[in-house]
Chains A and B, each alone.
Chain A
Amino acid sequence: MPQTEQPNYFVIAAIVAAELYQAMVVARQIALTASNARSLAIRAGQGAAGFRAITDFIDDLASVTVNASKVINNQAVAVSRIASDTARAEFALVSFDNAFHKASGAPYLSSLDASYQRTQEYRDSLREKFDKQVVNLNSRLEELARELRTAMVLSAMSRVEASQAGGQFEQPLNVIAQKVADAAAEIQRRVKYSRQMFSHLGKGRAD
């Protein structure tokens, strides 16, 4: 009877889900910031025309990030569920092992074989499903990380355009540019952390 393991993949997947949920909340803040920026740019008039154009990109970025975070968050929750089921199946196998050991020589010992095999197959199918989902999630995280690089460019461009607006609008437009930069950095941090966590999962599942 092979020894089994009981990894805490479901905790890691739940952490990733929570990180992505937080990323989604921050992305929604970017959307709000873009809306404020648009109003301000309109009030600033012709001098902030360039900034007004950038707000559309900020809006797009927020929308892409919100949607991607939502999808990844849901997938991470699903992965956590699969990992929990895997842990339960692993625990059942450990318990069966233990029962085999305790019942050594029992007349009906072999009647447990079918249960063991069935649970093992179930566990293996969960693992396979888990691995596929993790690969998929990783590629989505990479994609989101690429999108977020745009945010830093947008922030730099926003600063340039804010200086063009001049006068009383320069400072509030700069604040908006900074907010976009901060929000993007926050999301990037969470995405990076999630990817690190998933790389642990990848290594853990190399068995």
Chain B
Amino acid sequence: MLTKQIFKNNSHQWLLFGRDPEKPEKIIDSNQYMVKTETKALLMDPGGIELFPSMLANVIKQVPVEQVTHLFASHQDPDIISSLGLWDQALPEAQLHAPWLWEGFIRHFGMDNIDYVAIPDEGGELQLDLVQLQFVPAHYLHASGNFHVYDPQARILMSGDIGAALEPAEAPLVVDDFQDHIRKMQMFHQRWMPSNRAKDDWIERVSKLEIDMMCPQHGRIFEGDDVKRFLDWFSTLDVGTAIPRVQSA
């Protein structure tokens, strides 16, 4: 599994884990992110049960395991957090920050030790040493309770399934040709995202943030102007397309 530092300043680092060549063929490739501060670390969308050994191995190349004090799950999907039962054995003192809506569901993955910190619908904040992170609501994109993580210092938005693309595990980490990238993410957004209203609400919210990097859970990172390009493209995209539109008379 690849580990890539995507941001670093005096207070913290952002790391991406992904592109695992040992991943079983039929499971979707996923990006996991970690914010590492002086004494703490937050692991975001730590991944499925199949990825756990690779993830754990890569994490302990960066920090002692006990430094991982916080986990974050944007929503309840198995590729996001089905490894929870194993992290629960590895990090018994940790906290899991996840939507309140999914607590009873996520606990099905096995959680005897980790503390569940329910994020209310309006979002919240997390202080890691000198770094303050924000949990940004992204409800119905695609899960009915859903959050992203924004780091105002690093100007990074971890955007969960928004911006995701379906492409081979060996794909580059950063979008290099936005127009070409559209075809890799169009179906994903139209089919997985259910609500145009939720989409518009999210775009309005996120447009107010200063974002240098938008980091989805699948596919590639958007940098610089590609973030705005994505928001413009997404704003015109019709989503929820599995239900045919009713033609008005």
Contact = CB atoms under 8 A, between A and B. Distances in A.
Nearest to A109: B60
Contacts of A57: none
A103 B58 contact: yes
Interface in B38-59: 52-54, 56-58
B60 A106 contact: yes
A100 B53 CA distance: 8
Contacts of A107: 60-61
A103 B64 contact: no
B65 A115 contact: yes
A96 B90 contact: yes
Main secondary structure of the interface of A (DSSP, over half): helix
B64 A91 contact: no
A142 to B, nearest CB: 34
B85 A88 contact: yes
Contact of A103 (B60, B66, B86): B60
Interface string A103-130: 1001111011011001100100000000
Given A99-B53, A99-B56, A99-B57, A108 B85 contact: no
A103 B65 contact: no
B124 interface: no
B56 A96 contact: yes
Nearest to B1: A102
Contact of A108 (B52, B64, B89, B92): B64
Contacts of B54: 99, 102
B63 interface: yes
Contacts of B52: 95, 99
Contacts of B63: 108
Contacts of B62: 108
A108 B61 contact: yes
A89 interface: yes
A164 to B, nearest CB: 61
A108 B52 CA distance: 17
Given A106-B61, A108-B65, A92 B86 contact: yes
A108 B60 contact: yes
Nearest to B66: A111
B89 A99 contact: no
A101 B58 CA distance: 11
A141 B63 CA distance: 52
Interface string B87-106: 00111100000000000000
Contacts of A111: 60, 64-66
Interface of B: 52-54, 56-58, 60-66, 85-86, 89-92, 110
Instruction: Please name the 3 residue pairs, one residue from A and one from B, whose CB atoms are nearest each other, closest first.
Output: A111-B64, A102-B57, A98-B53
Given A92-B90, A106-B60, 7 more contacts: A88-B110, A92-B86, A92-B89, A95-B52, A96-B53, A111-B66, A118-B92
8 contacts: A88-B110, A91-B86, A92-B89, A95-B52, A96-B53, A98-B57, A102-B53, A103-B57
